[in-house]
């Protein structure tokens, strides 16, 4: 007994010494981080004090300001969890792994902390007992603020091959501790606990389209965000110029994931919904599910094309106006010929408009010339007549009416609010009921589905930017003249040393400096992309990709002509009527079968007790997908309670309060069908302490979030209360998919409140 106690005491002493050693090392790393923060702050202040007198100096000041500001943001973001692991190698070497790289400048830049994205850190996530990759021991550190709390060691030798679970989890204790932690309303990164199948996806090649198919709780979103951080680290030079776009399903989701990339050391990624990809347009309206599905169909390309062509008018016979006190006729034949030539130019509408106008003015010029005898006029006379026609208000008004300059907003608003225009454009594609679903009042707020149509119209219409380019050319000439003058003065300045004069005149020419001046150097690629509809990204990552409509895919493919994309989703969770039924169906029109599939099979979020129930729902769907395997149990079986609909308003607050007490400081989501949320949501938000309707910006940070299933996609909560599952099932063609989503949002507890009989597929046996 005494020997056993002595062994325990010795083990505790040894562990205490190792924790102290790790604490010393961590304190050194934080001291280094503090020095880096202080030095970066000093350089930023110095830069900001620089007036930037010359154009070159202003450009360099702006670039430096951005660089130091980004560095400070990165340093602040990695304050928590700076170092989380250590690798001990067979040769006796060891190194620590963390959220960014730190180096010892005084000793040949020896690495003090290896960035988790560096190749040297990869064994921390991939090494196993069967394939050690030179790793003798992997250590997971548990820290709080700047203090080491404990560690978990994995000794990767053949004698330890049976250690851990049969799922091959790396750092199982650390992983499960993180999974059991309470949710806060903000997604947390998984950099400390990335598993092998996740790491292989994160570090996959940037080339081509990678589809990541994964069931609930497999970490799809976290993998996608860590992949963005990895690609920016590994391909910095390529992606810094074009940027990375991360697309999420809604603004609530973007707020939820908003802190992950900064915590991984990246701040230059553009986060957006598909409804946020048209600069100057804010999608505040809401479509019915049917209207959104219709707007998302691929047939809408033909509808919009027809709507634009319908604005290219010809008169029934002729239109007559007065020019120079005599009648001037726009004959059908002449207008038709001008329209045909403009269309054959195969340019967007607003650019082809110039061809139309030139042709029509030429015909009108000859008509006027015939008044005086065309044979008696020379080319200069014809040019003069043409100029007079182009300057005449009545003539130009009629020409504009026949082929007007159009904006996407104008065409789409008039199409959707005018029954006759809509009928003409959709005659071959929609029936009367579908047209009725699209009709709305003029000037109605734009919806997310409208943004895809606006983007398509922008392609069909084009922008006649001749005047804008002429103004830009004029400014460029003025800027070039100014810069040439500055360089001349600098070259003539006797106080400038010869070598400095050489640098100015030979290395930095006037045209290059002028070009720098015209670039907003204070903006990142992501910020410039947000202002430019035609911007193309170096890589695009799409989360909940199964929800996108065919029209939304057209928008994204235009944003990424290189087809360097990561698409993350689960076709078993498709809720949108126009969403994906298979990945091949989505990608076939763009890359045929030239795309790669990676699957996530382990469920880290949903306890086995809940997943068993959700698997019953999955088995009823038309899919060959299998439910992911849960890594843990919660000890809480899902519970059900029948409450008549007329009693829901009275009893739900009590059930919510009881469930809140069960999960303690965690978060609870109450998921209701849309009509029930509209009916009961305001009263519940008032009567239940700490609750908020989910669309509110503060909704996810509240202890109780009242949401629809659509709003909860991609999110997770400690507890979930699903209300009226039968109505969720009957609510759409994808009702089973929606219920599957609702059941798999919980990390600990699940309750089901059903006004009618419990749906058969929710019985524990599924029968």
Q: Give how far the C-alpha of residue 183 lies from the chain's centroid of Cα atoms, to the nearest Å.
A: 23
- CB burial of residue 307 (10 Å; 0-12, 13-18, 19+): buried
Those residues with Cβ within 8 angstroms of residue 80's Cβ, 6 or more apart along the chain or in another chain: 145, 263
What residues are paired with 747 via a beta bridge?
A: none
* 85 marked among binding-site residues: no
Q: Which structure tokens are listed for 67?
A: 């660089």
Sequence-ordered alpha helix ranges (H) in 119-183: 123-126, 172-180
Residue 171 marked ligand-binding: no
Do the annotations mark residue 217 as ligand-binding?
A: yes
Would you call 28 exposed, middle or buried from its count of C-beta atoms within 10 A (0-12, 13-18, 19+)? Answer: middle
**Structure tokens of 680?**
């009961």
Residue ranges of E strands in 54-104: 83-89, 94-98, 102-104
**Number of other CB atoms surrounding residue 300 within 10 Å:** 25
* Tokens (6 digits) for 431: 């029936």
How do strand 94-98 and strand 83-89 relate by DSSP bridges? antiparallel
Please list, in sequence order, all residues whose beta carbon lies within 8 angstroms of the beta carbon of residue 445, skipping any fewer than 6 positions away: 283, 284, 285
Distance between CA 87 and CA 120 in Å, rounded?
10
State the pairing for strand pair 704-707/668-671.
parallel
219 is in an annotated binding site: yes
**Measured between alpha carbons, how far apart are the two ends of the chain, in Å?**
55
Which is it for the CA torsion 193, 197, 203, 206, positive or negative? Answer: negative
Structural tokens at position 74: 């990165």
Q: Is 196 labelled a binding residue?
A: no
Return the bridge partners of 270, or none: 245
274 in a labelled binding site: no
C-alpha 424: how far from chain center:
36
Instruction: Name the region of 92 (left: φ>0; alpha: ψ -120 to 50; beta: rest).
Output: left
Residue 337, both tokens? 């010929």
Is 221 assigned a ligand-binding role in the annotation?
yes
Q: Is 218 annotated as a binding residue?
A: yes
Binding-site residue ranges for ATP? 214-221
Task: Summarize the annotated binding site as residue ranges.
Answer: 214-221
């Amino acid at each position: 007994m005494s020997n056993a106690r002595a062994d325990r005491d010795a083990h505790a002493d040894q562990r205490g010494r190792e924790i102290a050693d790790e604490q010393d090392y961590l304190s050194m790393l934080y001291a280094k981080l503090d020095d880096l923060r202080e030095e970066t702050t000093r350089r930023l202040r110095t830069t900001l004090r620089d007036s930037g007198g010359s154009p070159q100096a202003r450009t360099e000041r702006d670039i430096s300001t951005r660089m130091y500001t980004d560095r400070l943001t990165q340093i602040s973001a990695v304050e928590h969890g700076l170092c989380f692991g250590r690798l001990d190698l067979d040769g006796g070497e060891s190194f620590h792994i963390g959220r960014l790289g730190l180096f010892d400048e005084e000793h040949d830049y020896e690495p003090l902390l290896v960035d988790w994205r560096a190749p040297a850190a990869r064994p921390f996530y991939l090494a196993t007992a069967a394939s050690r990759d030179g790793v003798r021991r992997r250590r997971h550190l548990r820290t709080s603020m700047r203090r080491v709390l404990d560690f978990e060691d994995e000794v990767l030798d053949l004698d330890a091959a049976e250690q851990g679970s049969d799922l091959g989890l790396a750092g199982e204790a650390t992983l499960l501790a993180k999974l059991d932690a309470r949710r806060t309303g903000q997604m947390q990164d998984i950099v400390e606990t990335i598993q092998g199948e996740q790491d292989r996806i994160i570090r996959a090649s940037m080339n081509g389209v990678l589809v990541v198919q994964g069931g609930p709780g497999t970490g799809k979103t976290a993998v996608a965000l860590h992949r963005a951080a990895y690609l920016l680290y590994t391909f910095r030079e390529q992606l810094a110029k074009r940027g990375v776009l991360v697309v999420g399903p809604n603004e609530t989701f973007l707020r939820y994931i908003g802190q992950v990339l900064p915590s991984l050391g990246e701040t230059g990624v553009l986060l957006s919904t598909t409804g946020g990809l048209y600069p100057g347009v804010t999608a505040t309206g809401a479509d019915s599910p049917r209207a959104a599905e219709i707007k998302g169909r691929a047939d809408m390309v033909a509808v919009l094309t027809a709507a634009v062509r319908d604005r290219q008018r010809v008169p029934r016979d002729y239109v007559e106006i007065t020019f120079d006190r005599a009648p001037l006729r726009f004959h059908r034949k002449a207008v038709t010929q001008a329209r045909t030539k403009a269309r054959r130019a195969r340019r967007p509408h607003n650019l082809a408009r110039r061809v139309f106008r030139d042709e029509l003015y030429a015909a009108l010029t000859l008509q006027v010339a015939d008044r005086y005898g065309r044979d008696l006029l020379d080319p200069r006379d014809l040019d003069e007549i043409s100029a007079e026609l182009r300057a005449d208000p009545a003539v130009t008004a009629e020409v504009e009416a026949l082929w007007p300059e159009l904006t996407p907003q104008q065409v789409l608003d008039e199409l959707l609010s005018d029954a006759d225009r809509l009928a003409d454009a959709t005659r071959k594609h929609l029936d009367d009921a579908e047209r009725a679903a699209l009709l709305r009042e003029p000037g109605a707020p734009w919806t997310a589905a409208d943004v895809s149509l606006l983007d398509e119209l922008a392609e069909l219409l084009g922008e006649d930017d001749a005047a804008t380019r002429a103004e830009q050319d004029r400014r460029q000439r003025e800027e070039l003249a100014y810069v040439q003058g500055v360089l001349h003065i600098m070259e003539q300045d006797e106080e400038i040393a010869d070598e400095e004069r050489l640098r100015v005149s030979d290395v930095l020419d006037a045209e290059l400096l002028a070009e720098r001046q015209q670039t907003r150097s204070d903006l990142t690629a992501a910020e410039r992309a947000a202002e430019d509809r035609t911007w193309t990204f170096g890589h695009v990552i799409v989360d909940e990709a199964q929800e996108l409509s065919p029209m939304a895919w057209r928008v994204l493919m235009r944003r990424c002509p290189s087809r360097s994309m990561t698409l993350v989703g689960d076709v078993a969770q498709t809720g949108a009527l126009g969403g994906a039924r298979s990945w091949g169906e989505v990608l076939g029109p763009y890359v045929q079968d030239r795309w790669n599939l990676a699957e996530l099979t382990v469920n880290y979020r949903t306890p086995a007790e809940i997943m068993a129930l959700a698997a019953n729902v999955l088995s009823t769907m038309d899919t060959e997908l299998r439910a992911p395997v849960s890594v843990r149990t919660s000890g809480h079986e899902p519970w059900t309670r029948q409450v008549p609909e007329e009693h829901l308003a009275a009893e739900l607050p009590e059930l919510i309060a009881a469930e809140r007490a069960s999960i303690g400081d965690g978060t609870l989501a109450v998921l209701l069908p849309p009509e029930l949320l509209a009916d009961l949501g305001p009263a519940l938000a008032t009567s239940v302490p700490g609750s908020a309707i989910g669309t509110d910006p503060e909704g996810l940070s509240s202890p109780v979030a009242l949401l629809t299933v659509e709003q909860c996609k991609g999110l997770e909560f400690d507890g979930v209360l699903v209300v009226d599952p039968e109505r969720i099932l009957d609510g759409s063609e994808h009702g089973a998919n929606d219920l599957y989503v609702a059941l798999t949002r919980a990390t600990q507890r699940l309750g089901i409140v059903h006004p009618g009989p419990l749906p058969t597929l929710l019985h524990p046996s599924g029968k």
